Structure 1
Amino acid sequence: MSYLVNEKGQIEFGYTSAKKINHLDYDLRNAMDKPLSNWRKKLKFNQFQFISINCEDFIMGMAVVDLKYASNCFIYLYHIKSQTFEEFDFIQAFGIKTHMSPHPNKGVSSFAKGNNLLQIEALNQTRNITLRLDNGLSLEAIIDESNSDRALSLCSKAGYNGWVYTQKLAARPVHGQLNWQSNTYPLEARKALASIDWSAGFMRRETSWHWASLSTCLSDGRRLGFNLASGVNETGFSENAIWIDDEYYKIDMVDFKFDRYQESQTWYLISNDTKLKLTFDRQGKRAQKMNLILIASNFRQFFGHFNGTIKLNNESIEINNAWGLVEDHYAKW
């Protein structure tokens, strides 16, 4: 098995094929070079997994977040035709009934509170989701990750002595069924697509980022997905990538232009090489402001339409009113 941290307690930063994030083996020190104990490493290590699923009927987002002092699970759904929005948010102190696998492509990540459960199991190039809420909302889904070797897997430096590992994959087919508000949605028949974000690390005490994600079908039937970000993994590397069907392409740094305090205004996303030029217009959002002194979050994730062009391999791909996500996030952890 390939480990992220080597036998000397160090990491070779950059794009990686590591299969296990063995963070306790890392030689983590404070700013004065004093090694930290394992219990302090455990407290400083943050981890989350976010998955979005969308089809012609709905957009759905869900996450398990473990910040050690507290863990969080959220689920939201937006019905496109009726413009109905529903969200659910749960918090547990000290990560009670929260489990996160150290393997991006193996093992179970889960959150439970009362009769509410979100479980995500990575196994044999699939990611299997079980969601049950006490109001009747349920999801059984299997995400096809047969091209997991084409995921974007990256570890970069964070602050003076930390690091962030992330694995991203987009536009993956989904099988299964969603039951929501007395309606049943067969995911394969609806041509549902998923995006996956698995991230962990000794992150900056205070950090912020902008992020965009898309999973859609083009007019010719090909699946197109992308992951774009600024503010986290930019110490010599970036987490900007495009997937067309099972193929993966890196793209240049992307500038996010938007007005944080005028949420109805258009976002502009332009890569440094201008091969990617997109606009985003919001249709709704999931937001949360949390200040627990030791940890804090000002989170805004918008769902809406992307339009524009992506130039790739001498081809100009037109994006027309494709549903996707953008995010503006401040965190202290």
Structure 2
Amino acid sequence: MDKLIQPDGQPHYGIFPAAPGHINYRDFDFRSPMGRRLGALAKWRRFHQFQYFGLLSDELIGGCALANLSLVGVGFVYLFHPSSGRMIERQFKLPLGFGTRFSQTPDDGVCELRQGGNLLRLENHAATREKRLLVELDDGTRIDACFSEREPAFQPMCICTPTAVNGWVYAQKVAGVACRGEVRSELGNFDLGQIGAFAHHDWSAGYMRPETNWNWACLSGLADGRRVGLNLSCGVNETSFTENCFWLDGELLKVDSVRFEFDRDRPLHTWTITSQDGQVALTFEGEGLHQERLNLGVIASNFKQVFGRFCGELRPFGRPPVVIDEMWGFVEDQYVKW
């Protein structure tokens, strides 16, 4: 599929075998809830885009995100050292996105944020099917991490769903891929290949609900010698289709709707995550979190991303269960108004 938006101004909906070449949101026939056609300013104001790259290993956990929220560009990066409990984290907010740039080609192009001596950069390379994270901070922290979807072969989750009365969201998810590269920081220097790091990647864009909330879960690692990844959500990307799935050695296996049970006031306590079809039965125990609160009136966010360990089972239909034993991953609880 060359473009997401069709000649009639409507998106292609569904789960796709590969990413669209271009998220041509400016061609969307965007209307008010009462049917009035909206112009370029409304399209700019309501279109939001974000990209996330997560690192998971027994020796180092990391996360980096960039978001274009039209009125503000935001980014964060953190590193957590499980054995010492030490953590490095930085947050950035740029009015009107000055100092940022975002490509609308999910498999090719660059999204980045620059502020002073700080750079957060996410690169997607179509020719090699590689995703790369580059972080350079003014305190000397440097992350250079990448993975390939080509060798070994990997099938990403590519999905577009209707949203509210007049919107849509395109999302592209990857989990359960081996990561290579290096990290240099106050927490130490790490060769990501040597420490057995795995990665998660999320590329999302569209006309999301103006006020929404969601929960999300992801894990990546090895179970009985198999590469395992998981991507689950509740509250977003689940109208007509859902992004819920897991991967075994790069093969995508679809999952039905899911339920998150947790204590919102104690996010490090136990989470229970189950799927309606019985394929997912997991618990999660948090070991740390990155959180942000932002309230600018027209834009607000209450965001918690928790990193910790999953236990339980994945139960693919017609196959033996996959036991998940203390595997690192993320869960998320987010409210946003944008």
Alignment TM-score, normalising by the size of structure 1? 0.97
Cα offsets for 1:240-297 (capped at 9, x unmatched): 1111122111111111111212334311101102221100111111111100111100
Cα offsets for 1:102-148 (capped at 9, x unmatched): 01110000000001001111112001221100000001122212178
Deviation at 1:174, TM superposition (A): 1.4
Contact 1:125 1:148 in 2 (8 A): no
Equivalence for 1:270: 274
Matched length: 332
Q: 1: CA distance between counterparts of 2:42 and 2:266?
A: 40
Alignment of 1:36-185 (within 5 A): 36-123=38-125, 124-146=128-150, 150-181=155-186, 183-185=188-190
Question: Match of 2:321, SS?
Answer: strand
Distance 1:285 1:182, change over 3 A: closer
Equivalence for 1:193: 198
Deviation at 1:100, TM superposition (A): 1.0
Q: 1: CA distance between counterparts of 2:251 and 2:268?
A: 34
Equivalence for 1:291: 295
Q: Of 325, 328, 331, which residue of structure 1 is paired with 2:333?
A: 328
Contact 2:101 2:112 in 1 (8 A): yes
Between the aligned residues of both structures, percent identity stands at: 38
Q: 1: CA distance between counterparts of 2:268 and 2:236?
A: 25
Contact 1:305 1:321 in 2 (8 A): yes
Q: RMSD in angstroms over aligned alpha carbons?
A: 1.3
- The AA in structure 1 aligned to 2:12 is E
Contact 1:52 1:60 in 2 (8 A): yes
Question: Match of 1:294, SS?
Answer: coil
Equivalence for 1:236: 240
Question: Match of 1:40, SS?
Answer: helix
Moved over 6 A (4+): none
Deviation at 1:182, TM superposition (A): 6.3
Alignment of 1:254-265 (within 5 A): 254-265=258-269
Deviation at 1:149, TM superposition (A): 6.5
Q: 2: CA distance between counterparts of 1:249 and 1:216?
A: 16
Q: 2: CA distance between counterparts of 1:183 and 1:234?
A: 40
Contact 1:28 1:36 in 2 (8 A): yes
- The AA in structure 2 aligned to 1:300 is K
Deviation at 1:76, TM superposition (A): 0.8
Q: 2: CA distance between counterparts of 1:294 and 1:148?
A: 43
Cα offsets for 1:193-218 (capped at 9, x unmatched): 10001101111110110000000111
Distance 1:311 1:74, change over 3 A: same
Q: 2: CA distance between counterparts of 1:303 and 1:7?
A: 42
* Residue 322 of structure 2 corresponds to residue 317 of structure 1: yes
Question: Match of 1:103, SS?
Answer: coil
Deviation at 1:184, TM superposition (A): 1.4
Equivalence for 2:13: 13
Moved more, 204-213 or 138-147: 138-147
- Structure 2 portions without partners, runs of 5+: none
Q: 1: CA distance between counterparts of 2:202 and 2:112?
A: 15
Q: 1: CA distance between counterparts of 2:266 and 2:182?
A: 37
Equivalence for 1:249: 253
Equivalence for 2:283: 279
Q: 1: CA distance between counterparts of 2:78 and 2:214?
A: 21
Question: Match of 1:150, SS?
Answer: coil
Question: Match of 1:7, SS?
Answer: coil
- The AA in structure 2 aligned to 1:214 is L
Moved more, 155-164 or 7-16: 7-16
* Residue 228 of structure 2 corresponds to residue 224 of structure 1: yes
Q: 2: CA distance between counterparts of 1:181 and 1:233?
A: 38
- Structure 1 portions without partners, runs of 5+: none
Question: Match of 2:179, SS?
Answer: strand
* Residue 35 of structure 2 corresponds to residue 30 of structure 1: no
- The AA in structure 2 aligned to 1:229 is S
Moved more, 259-268 or 248-257: 259-268
Q: 2: CA distance between counterparts of 1:100 and 1:245?
A: 31
